[in-house]
Amino acid sequence: MTVSSPSPTADPLARASAPSQRMTPAERRTSAALASVYALRMLGLFIVLPVFALQARHYPGGDDPALVGLAMGIYGLTQALLQVPLGMASDRLGRKPVILAGLAMFAIGSAVAAWAPSIGWLVAGRALQGAGAISAAVTALLADLTRDAVRTKAMALVGVSIALMFALSLVAAPTLVPHVGLSGLFVITLCLTLAAMAVVAWVVPAEPPRQPGAPRASLREVLRQRDLLRVDAAVFILHAAQMMTWLTVPALLVQAGLDAAHHWQVYLPAVVVSLLIVGGLLFRLERMGYFRAVYLGTVALIGLVQLALLTQVSSPSLWTLGVLLCLYFVGFNTQEASQPSLASRLAAPHQRGTALGVFNTLMSLGIFTGGAVGGMVARTWGPSGIFVASAALVAVWLAVAWGMKPGAAPRH
């Protein structure tokens, strides 16, 4: 099937986004509440990202790029170790208890990171944050509480909330860090996590009861689904490239003459324009049946941006960096909104927690790999090596994604 051939009736994302399919009030409340939980937690994670590489240098041991990369990425490693076990636990014990326990662990990690007197303790705090691996349980609960016909809208709302929190963090972090420091940002993270726990406890509707005799999820069954594995590979590379990019972009902006406190002047316009493009054009094309074209096109766009950033290493220009970041956000935000929806729809109801656990494990491994390996690449080959490695990863992603079937439907 060619990329340009629309198939509105075959494409699951296009079909679920049809204008005639409306959410019920309960589904709107559920989607908004769980999107806010995701948003509060992801803002807590993202708010340190734009300034982490610069601020970590002020800690004892922070002069080693590999240690800084490890501190950025260790969150993803502990997430990866626990996503599948906690996703499976949510299938058996219930979503809400797992979500609340994970948020409590994230809060403890935020407190340790806020107190950390050295880069080693910062690594420990980030590792504890990652142990609160609730992404699979949250996404599975959202899938449980929404009908199949509107699930893409609900998942897209979560994806857009993540993109908005990323955008907000890019603006807020450089503005806040001169006043509160990196430790103060972790205190903010702690407060946001406590707010998310309150939303889960008192706002999110009760989850549906477990059906007696319902089939139990099998990890082996999930790992045999090729289209799910393609989405898992995609989320790994998306977040690995993201971490690598933000090991380098803040320094390029400083090199171009923009103080860290004013980086939002580049980030904000880039993010706002990208969201207008994504919401006004790309999502509309998806609803028209061009999901595969949008999907593959935004993957290619992310890779081309990495190659274009190579030209900025020796003599960066603020205007050029701004345009490239806008294009990057177009690709990133589209993928961030589409991937969880696609993964949840490809999984049967009884295996969603497990399937989304695998999905989020690969996302977390991408975060860890991008931070840890990116730090070593930066130490050895500098910023150019970072962008070459990122572009190579995206090329692999494009090759894997090319085999995705536009008509792949959930098996339920």
Find which of 74-78, 124-128, 226-230, 246-250 is predicted with most confidence, using mean pLDDT.
124-128
- The model's pTM is 0.71
5 domain-assigned? no
Instruction: Inform me whether the pLDDT recorded for 218 exceeds 70.
Output: no
Which range is most confident: 53-57, 61-65, 78-82, 325-329? 325-329
Q: What is the pLDDT of residues 293-317, one digit of tens each?
A: 888 999 999 999 999 999 998 889 9
- Residue 141 inside a domain? The answer is yes
Look at residue 237 in the predicted model and tell me its pLDDT. Answer: 95
Task: Report pLDDT for 15.
Answer: 44
User: pLDDT band at residue 210, thresholds of 50, 70 and 90?
Assistant: low
d(CA 36, CA 312): 37
**Within a domain: 1:** no
Is residue 216 assigned to a domain? no
> What pLDDT is stored for residue 213 in this prediction?
54
Q: How far is CA 297 from CA 136, 205, 402, in A?
A: 27, 37, 11
- Beta-carbon neighbour count of residue 208 at 10 Å? 10
- Closest to 341 in 3D by CA, of 162, 164, 163, 152: 152
Q: How many residues does the chain have?
A: 412
- Whether residue 271 is contained in a domain is answered as yes
* Counted domains in the chain: 1
Would you state the torsion angle of the CA atoms of residues 68, 73, 77, 83, taken in this order, to the nearest 10 degrees?
150
- For residue 303, is it within any domain? yes
The pLDDT value given to residue 96: 92
Confidence of residue 24 (pLDDT cuts 50, 70, 90): confident
Q: Report residue 241's pLDDT band, with 50, 70 and 90 as the boundaries.
A: very high
8 A C-beta contact, residue 253 and residue 263: yes
Mean pLDDT of 71-82: 81
6 located within any domain: no
Domain span including residue 57: 25-206+223-401
- The reply to whether 217 falls in a domain is no
CATH number, domain at 274? 1.20.1250.20
What does the DSSP assignment read for 195-264?
HHHHHHHHTSPPPPPPPTTPPPP-HHHHHT-HHHHHHHHHHHHHHHHHHHHHHHHHHHHHHTT--GGGTH
Distance CA 85, CA 257 (A): 46
User: What average pLDDT score do residues 399-406 get?
Assistant: 78
How far, CA to CA in Å, does 359 sit from each of 72, 84, 110, 280?
Answer: 20, 9, 24, 28
What is the rounded distance in angstroms from the CA atom of residue 320 to the CA atom of residue 258? 13
Mean pLDDT of 22-29: 83
pLDDT of residue 412: 36
Predicted pLDDT of residue 362: 87
3-state secondary structure 165-207: HHHHHHHHHHHHHHHHHHHHHHHHHHHHHHHHHHHHHHCCCCC
The pLDDT of residue 283: 65
Q: What is the pLDDT of residues 351-391, one digit of tens each?
A: 777 787 788 888 878 888 888 888 888 888 988 999 999 99
